[in-house]
């Protein structure tokens, strides 16, 4: 199982003093440590309008990370397709793949936070259709085919910059509804999961992964990537406090799938509950290693380590990256 970094760049909780800290420079430092330590990828989320996620433009941040790293792959998790012009997205990520030397992992999704749909004026009932149309257009544009925008006067165009990876960078689709898994699999796309927000425990995660793999086209190889909060070091109580702040912030932003899970069982909104279910990994290096082994047995190919959350100190995040890099691959 590969180890990577995934950050939603959640804003610092207002009740904690973080004067002088900068989320973007901190993530650049974490990415640099991950690159030097041999991790597989750095992924960043796209979010808008709320402090629970402060990267509205992943290509900008990934270009900055790419300029200071050499080998690590760089991923969007996700580009929220219903919010944007498909041609704009194709151009931006094609250029990004050129700038970072063909290291782009292109993760896409349809969105799930009500405030973001309201801010863009997008009807959530239309998100699936908008997602499907947009992804079809983006992939055709990446291949150098003629595509057309959605406006009534739009004319056919071809990108003047194509991604270095052809016919496209590798594609991940984020799925938070179990019924979406067959769709992702039949298209042959890799799968991104956020287990803390969607499943009860590791056995349910393993069942979802089996369902997904059963629907893949014959001979198709695809990656299952799963995001988990990680801390391996000498101060687990500090990490648990930070994780509780993070979970509270996700509920406050009306993160739909997490809210539904917590409504069914409020214990899922607690650090103790997540740790008991195997969906958060906090402890000494040896303890976390055992938890990582248990996750690997579910069929996950890539552990997306959420190392920075809830205002956890940068030294704690980087320390976990470096410790786990030596022991987990």
**Is 117 a residue whose pLDDT tops 70?**
yes
Q: How confident is the model at residue 278 (pLDDT cuts 50, 70, 90)?
A: very high
Confidence of residue 293 (pLDDT cuts 50, 70, 90): very high
- The reported pLDDT for the residue numbered 214 is 96
Distances (CA, A) of 43 to 7, 86, 176, 204: 6, 21, 17, 24
pLDDT at 1 over 90: yes
Spatial distance between the Cα atoms of 286 and 323, rounded to a whole number of angstroms: 10
Mean pLDDT of the chain: 94
| Number of Cα atoms under 13 Å in the Cβ half of residue 104 | 35
Q: How far apart are CA 211 and CA 197, in angstroms?
A: 19
What is the rounded CA–CA span in Å between residue 124 and residue 111?
8
Q: Which residues contact 40 (CB under 8 A, 6 or more apart)?
A: 2, 3, 4, 72, 73, 302
Check residues 79 and 20 and name the one with the higher pLDDT.
79
- Asked if the model's pLDDT at residue 226 lies above 70, the reply is yes
pLDDT at residue 16 tops 90: no
Section 240-262 average pLDDT: 83
Residue 133 confidence (pLDDT) above 80: yes
pLDDT score of 52: 85
Higher pLDDT, 267 or 275: 275
For the cut 70, the answer to whether the pLDDT of residue 14 exceeds it is no
Beta-bridge partner residues of 232: 283
Is the pLDDT at 308 greater than 90, yes or no?
A: yes
For the domain that residue 114 is a member of, what is the CATH number? 3.20.20.30
- Which of 90-104, 106-120, 144-158, 181-195 has the weakest average pLDDT? 144-158
The pLDDT, as a whole number, for residue 263 is 81
pLDDT tier at 329, thresholds 50, 70, 90: low
**Nearest alpha-carbon partner for 138 in 173, 86, 84:** 86
**Mapped to the 3 state alphabet, what secondary structure does the chain carry?**
CEEEEEECCCCCCCCCCCCCCCHHHHHHHHHHHHHHHCCCEEEECCCCCCCCCCCCCHHHHHHHHHHHCCCCEEEEEEEEHHHCCHHHHHHHHHHHHHHCCCCEEEEEECCCCHHHHHHHCCCHHHHHHHHHHHHHHHHHHHCCCCECCCCCCCCCECCCCCCCCCCCCCEEEECCCHHHHHHHHHCCCEEEECHHHHCCCHHHHHHHHHHHHHCCCCCCCCCEEEEEEEEECCCHHHHHHHHHHHHHHHHHCCCHHHHHHHHHCHHHHCHHHHHHHCCEEEECHHHHHHHHHHHHCCCCCEEEEECCCCCCCHHHHHHHHHHHHHHCC
For position 20, what pLDDT does the model report?
Answer: 76
Higher pLDDT, residue 251 or 144:
144
Residue 31 has pLDDT above 80, yes or no: yes
Domain hosting 55: range is 2-327
Average pLDDT of the segment spanning 286-306: 97
Q: Which position has the token pair 């990828």?
A: 41
Torsion angles phi and psi, residue 113, rounded to 5: -100, 120
**What average pLDDT does this structure show over 225-250?**
94
Average pLDDT over residues 272-277: 93
For the chain, the domain total comes to 1
> What percentage of the chain exceeds 70 in pLDDT?
96
Q: What is the pLDDT of residue 21?
A: 84
With beta carbons less than 8 A apart as the criterion, state whether 50 and 253 touch. Answer: yes
Supply the pTM of this predicted model: 0.94
Confidence at 254, pLDDT banded by 50, 70, 90: low
């Amino acid at each position: 199982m590969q180890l990577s970094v995934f950050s939603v760049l959640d804003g610092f909780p207002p009740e904690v003093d973080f004067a002088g800290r900068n989320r973007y420079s901190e993530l650049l430092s974490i990415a640099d440590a991950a690159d030097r330590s041999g991790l597989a990828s750095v992924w960043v989320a796209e979010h808008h309008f709320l402090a629970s996620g402060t990267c509205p433009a992943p290509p900008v941040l990934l270009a900055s990370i790419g300029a200071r790293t050499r080998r690590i792959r760089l991923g969007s998790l996700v580009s929220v397709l219903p919010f944007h012009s498909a041609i704009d997205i194709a151009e931006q990520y094609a250029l990004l793949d050129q700038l970072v030397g063909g290291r782009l992992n292109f993760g896409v999704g349809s969105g799930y936070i009500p405030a973001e749909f309201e801010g863009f004026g997008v009807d959530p009932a239309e998100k699936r259709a908008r997602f499907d149309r947009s992804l079809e257009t983006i992939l055709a544009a990446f291949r150098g085919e003629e595509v057309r925008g959605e406006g009534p006067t739009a004319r056919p165009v071809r990108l003047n910059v194509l991604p270095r990876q052809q016919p496209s960078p590798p594609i991940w689709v984020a799925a938070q509804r179990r019924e979406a898994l067959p769709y992702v699999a039949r298209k042959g796309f890799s799968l991104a999961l956020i287990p803390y927000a969607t499943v009860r425990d590791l056995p349910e995660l393993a069942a979802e992964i089996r369902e997904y793999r059963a629907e893949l086209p014959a001979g198709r190889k695809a990656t299952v990537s799963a995001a988990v909060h990680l801390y391996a070091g000498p101060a687990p109580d500090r990490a648990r406090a930070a994780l509780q702040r993070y979970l509270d912030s996700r509920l406050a932003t009306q993160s739909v799938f997490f809210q539904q899970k917590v409504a069914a069982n409020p214990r899922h909104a607690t650090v103790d509950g997540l740790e008991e279910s195997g969906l958060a990994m906090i402890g000494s290096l040896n303890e976390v290693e055992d938890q990582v082994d248990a996750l690997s047995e579910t069929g996950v190919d890539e552990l997306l380590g959420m190392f920075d959350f809830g205002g956890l100190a940068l030294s704690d995040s980087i320390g976990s990256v470096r410790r786990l890099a030596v022991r987990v691959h």
